[in-house]
Structure 1
Amino acid sequence: MGPPEVFSLPVGDLEPFLDRKRYSAFAMSQLQLPSFLSEVLRKANDFVPSVAGSILMDRPVERGDTPADTNLYFVAAFGPSASALLGKNLRADRGVVGHVYRTGEPYLMADPESDPNFYPKFDEDHEFRTAGVVAVPVRIERTVCGVLELLNRSDGMPYTDRNMQMLEIFARYTSISIENLLDAQRATEMARRDDLTGLYNDRFFHHRLSEDLIRADVTRSTVALLFLDIDNFKSVNDTHGHLAGSQVLKEFGYL
């Protein structure tokens, strides 16, 4: 049996899952994230051959007060109907995945019919028969942000504690790489914004303008620039100081 075909959401669809804050510099670009997630599943499957597997993540801005209000999205998967799963969601109060997400603890399921965390409707909806699951949490610093799972060992045997420990290694690797990506995004964002106002600086302006001009030339469309002149702005700085002036610019930037 050859390596499984692993599917991952494209870069644009992965952005909502990276809307997180990481306080602490780097190594993987955002464009590499889909292939990275796919590679994690491939390697996990190499060490623990399975019929199916997936990585699910929450969207920080959508996280609710309770698990029932939070959805976990399939961001990478392999196995039957893997491509159809991408972007689909599962409530965080359901199934083994939800249990791991809520508790932050790895989990082995050997007998679905007697396991209280088994969610049979997922099998029914996707014409799949779950015989066993091993799932581990994926963290950003100390916060669980997703779950890495494998389903149905290829040899038909139940998953073992050794399999779970192996999967935890891949989950930690995934966590560290996502943390590095967040560091890189934060550094990039800081480089193109003014420290005092938080507004985009002239470096970003010229870069974005160049992109828009090139795009307009290729698509034969138009580009418009809007200038705002703030009357008596110098007197604000002179009277109240540059911090007050920065606040004025910040307020105008919200317009």
Structure 2
Amino acid sequence: MPKILVIAPPSKDPTPILHDCGLDDLTLKPDLPAKEEVPELPPDIIILNEALTTRKGLQQLDRAFPSVPKVVLSAKETKRLAFVKERPLSDLLVNPECDELLESIKRLQYEKGLMREILSLKKEGAVLNRLAALFDEISCMLMKSDDLDDIVSRIMNRIKSAVGARGWAILLGDDTGKELYLMQASAKRSRRMRRCRLRVGEGIAGWVADKGKPVIVNDVTGDRRFLADRDGYPGAETRSILAAPVGDQERILGVIELINKRSGDGFTGEDLTLVTRLSGLVATAINLTAVHQKMAELAITDDLTKLFNSRYLQRTIEMEVERCKRYNTSVSLIFMDIDYFKNINDRYGHLVGSKVLVEVGQLLLRKLRSVDIVARYGGDEFVIVLPQTSPKYATQIAERLRKTVSSTVFLKKEGYSIRLTASFGVASYPETAGSKEDLMRLADEAMYNVKYQTRNGVCAII
């Protein structure tokens, strides 16, 4: 049962009606809450009377209750409130029946959860893109040198810089699998360092090799595992260590140590995550295998448009189809292909064509909801995922996008003033498609139906 904050003047108190609809966890306020009246626990939904609904008032509520969905109740249709439906997590209902009200609340709560998931994925995507950039940089290192020591040194210096450490060391397991020896370190290796060996299970590095787990020790003086003459910088001052295992699926090859964090706060969980992810590249450099596959697995955005790429699109569609099965909802797919895009490349050149694709991608993002996913599928083709969207509404969205594209002047600021059109195909699960594969195939076929006939149109498989 959602916790609902009702904001309405006493003369228009809707709580009796809400009780009749089965909504019992209600708190009634006669006016917008002042800053000092905001409760510590926010409501799940805010229901607002039309008389108190203004742009400024909703902005005030947004500040007081971030990400809380809002339903505005009105006694009649009015243009004054049309802006409500353009806002995220907001709905406008005119004399709604209980079913309509409950469906609106359910949809807004779903969209709130979906937005939270998307924000989490975007945050994860930012980390992955950072890692992908490092993978790209390290890949160039691998291609420029076949000297193992040089490759490892370059990779470790890059990792050291990324986490803000002062030094690093790599210890590898010997042929017996019982001992670790110092392969390389950022400090100049002395004869003593070259002779440095420790048993698996001995010292911090030996513990990591034995357990196969990374560890952060920000004060080595308080850790009984630390061996001053073997961990960190042998023969030099070591204050803090981040250690992670290096290996593949079959075995642990050795241990990475990042030594002495430059900042006084010590190594962090984010540092540990970064090193753990990148330790695979050290193993790759040692084994000279699989680096390009690892890079591809981390990339989720298209290099040109910065939209999501095909790999992320496939993952998203799978997730949405499973969500539809679980919650008995719909997901729709729009395939879009720019008409005669080859003519743009032929006339203006591929650089201008690429800029047009970027502007088209940004235009789609501006005209869609924050919960919708836009991906570049390849070339001049885009795919849009519309969660919890019926075939009829998806078709309306496609038609609106078609009109927007055809009425937009692209690269106007750069002096080109290019006009173009696009062909759209629409399909939905489960209404017309029985699986993820069917959904993509039908939307693609619908788009090509337009492409081979009229172009600049929408075809929906309904």
**Partners of 2:145 and 2:151 within 8 A in 1:** no
Find the aligned partners of 2:262 and 2:189 in 1 and give their Cα distance: 16
Partner of 2:185: 77
Partners of 2:233 and 2:284 lie apart in 1 by 34
Superposed counterparts of 1:135-174, under 5 Å: 135-174=243-282
Distance 1:75 1:125, change over 3 A: closer
2:253 partner SS? strand
1:140 Cα deviation from its structure 2 partner: 3.1
Structure 2 residues without counterparts, runs of 5 or longer: 1-141, 291-462
Cα distance per residue 1:51-78 (max 9 Å; x no partner): 2211110122x33xxxxxx221111111
Provide the rounded CA distance (Å) in 2 between the counterparts of 1:145 and 1:126: 21
Deviation digits for residues 31-55 of structure 1, max 9, x if unmatched? 4211111112111111022222111
Relative to structure 1, is the Cα distance of residues 30 and 74 closer, same or farther in structure 2, using a 3 angstrom cutoff? Answer: farther
* 2:206 aligned with 1:91: no
Distance across 1 between alignment mates of 2:154 and 2:200? 25
Alpha-carbon displacement from aligned partner over 1:97-132 (angstroms, at most 9, x marks no partner): 001100000001022222132123437994322211
| Structure 2 equivalent of residue 46 of structure 1 | 161
SS in 1 for 2:147: helix
Residue of structure 1 equivalent to 2:283: 175
CA distance in 2, matches of 1:94, 1:132: 17
Structure 1 residues 104-119: aligned runs within 5 Å = 104-119=212-227
Identical counterparts, % of pairs: 22
For 2:151 and 2:232, the matched residues in 1 are separated by: 30
Cα–Cα, structure 1 residues 29 and 144, in superposed 2: closer, same or farther, change >3 Å? farther
| Cα contact 1:77–1:86 (8 A) shared by 2 | no
- CA shift, 1:161, in A, is 0.7
Cα deviation digits, residues 218-240 of structure 1 (max 9, x gap)? xxxxxxxxxxxxxxxxxxxxxxx
Q: In the superposition, relative to structure 1, how do residues 30 and 89 fare at CA in structure 2: closer, same or farther (>3 Å)?
A: farther
What residue is the counterpart of 1:199 in the other structure?
none
CA-CA distance at 1:181 after TM superposition: 5.0
SS at match of 1:149: strand
CA RMSD of aligned residues (A): 2.8
The alpha carbon displacement at 1:169 in A equals: 2.1
The answer for unaligned runs of 5 or more in structure 1 is 1-26, 64-69, 183-255
Separation of aligned partners in 1, 2:225 and 2:251: 22
Q: For residues 229 and 261 of structure 2, what CA distance do their matches in structure 1 show?
A: 21
Q: 1:95 to 1:113 in 2, by over 3 A?
A: same
Measure the CA separation in 2 of the matches of 1:123 and 1:177.
23
State the structure with bigger RCO (CA 8 A, min sep 6), 1 or 2.
Answer: 1
Tell me what 2:152 maps to. Answer: 37
The one-letter code of the counterpart of 2:211 is: T
Number of residue-to-residue matches in the alignment: 148
CA distance in 2, matches of 1:166, 1:116: 26
Specify the structure having the higher radius of gyration (Cα).
Answer: 2
| In 2: Cα distance, 1:156 partner to 1:164 partner | 16
1:157 offset after TM fit, Å? 2.9
SS at match of 1:148: strand
Runs in 1 of length 4+ with deviation above 4 angstroms? 27-31
**Residues 39 and 113 from structure 1, CA distance in 2 versus in 1: closer, same or farther, beyond 3 angstroms?**
same
Other-structure match for 1:57: 172
User: In structure 1, what residue type is equivalent to 2:270?
Assistant: R
